[in-house]
Amino acid sequence: MITQRCIDCSRKILWIVLGINLGLFLLKGSFALLSHSKSLLTDSFQSLANFIITIVVLASLRMASKGADEKFPYGYGKVEFLASGLVNMLLMIAAIVFIFVSFIEMIMVAPEKPPKLIAILAAGISIIANYIAFGYGRCAGEKLASTAILANAEVSRADVGTSVAVIVAVVGSNLGFSRLDHIAAIVICLLIIKVTLDGVKKAIKGLMDASLRSEELHIRNLIEDIKGVRCVGDVKVRFAGRNLWVDVNIFVPADWILSRGLETVQKIKNVLRKKMKDISDVSVQLLPFISVDDQGYRTRYRSENAKRK
């Protein structure tokens, strides 16, 4: 069960992260101009992208919190996957552009003076701030099972790595490796692409209702232990934002009266909601279990079901 405290915390954390990203963009951007560091300048644009991402996440969470209506009877939960995929795609495109720009500058422009060591201060502040943002963001995302908040936290963690690369680049450039600042800028972009690619994959799985095998197996085991259930048929689980939607077919004795069947359905729903978190809706379809040759029917059903999968 998600507590109100966790919900309130998630809202505060996102606003705090929003302020951190805006502050880091201004800090790293100004220090990049003062120190003439290409890698720090690239890192500052990542903070700007993180700022935009957080705005999108806030908007998507507000929309996803709306209840189901006539237009969207299953709710607005999937907007989180859409927002997560969109912001990761935009950040990936920006990183690819930065790679080309940094590569062209490294090849075409003559070696410049090494960046000033003041860039290390900005990178150090960025590491601390983003590590804090990642820790709180991951906590809120796991508590709420929100892909959008978790994706935003992963972006903050990626920024920690890019700031470390900035420090290495600045120190190395001052030790005589003149191209290291440009190389670091390219490495930073590659790290961004890796993180965003993982985010896009997760968003696609959520939008396409990818099968959740571990959850389906767990649900099947829970239902099989309920008295009266003769056989568990298809079990389908999908994400709707941070919530799980469950569809299951249950075989019960064919001579049961309707009230007993409905009582079993209610037991199934109660058990699943008690044993599993974040279940939003459970749809149970009752099917008659043939009493003649029970074992053969059960074997045949499972065999046919396995072939369909």
User: pLDDT tens digits, residue range 250-292?
Assistant: 888 888 888 888 888 888 888 888 877 667 778 888 888 865 4
Sequence-separated (6 or more) residues with CB below 8 Å from residue 223: 229, 232, 235, 248, 250, 268, 271, 272
Q: Do 256 and 131 share a structural domain?
A: no
**What is the Cβ-side half-sphere exposure of residue 66, based on CA atoms within 13 angstroms?**
17
Structural domain count, the chain: 2
Query: Starting at the edge strand that comes first in sequence, how are the strands of the sheet with 243-253 ordered?
Result: 231-240, 243-253, 279-289
Tokens coding 246: 């469950």
**77 pLDDT more than 70:** no
Q: Which residues face 244 on adjacent strands?
A: 239, 279
Q: Do 223 and 144 share a structural domain?
A: no
Q: Which residue has the higher pLDDT, 9 or 296?
A: 9
Q: Do 238 and 180 share a structural domain?
A: no
Q: Do 127 and 80 share a structural domain?
A: yes
Q: Do 219 and 194 share a structural domain?
A: no
Supply the pTM of this predicted model.
0.59
Q: From residue 245, how far is each of 64, 235, 273 by CA, in Å?
A: 15, 11, 11
Q: Containing domain of residue 242, as a range? A: 213-308
User: pLDDT tens digits, residue range 215-241?
Assistant: 788 888 888 888 878 888 888 877 665
Tokens coding 75: 């709710």
Q: Do 54 and 13 share a structural domain?
A: yes
Percent of the chain having pLDDT more than 90?
4
Q: Do 246 and 179 share a structural domain?
A: no
CA distance 20 to 22: 6
Tokens coding 103: 């590569």
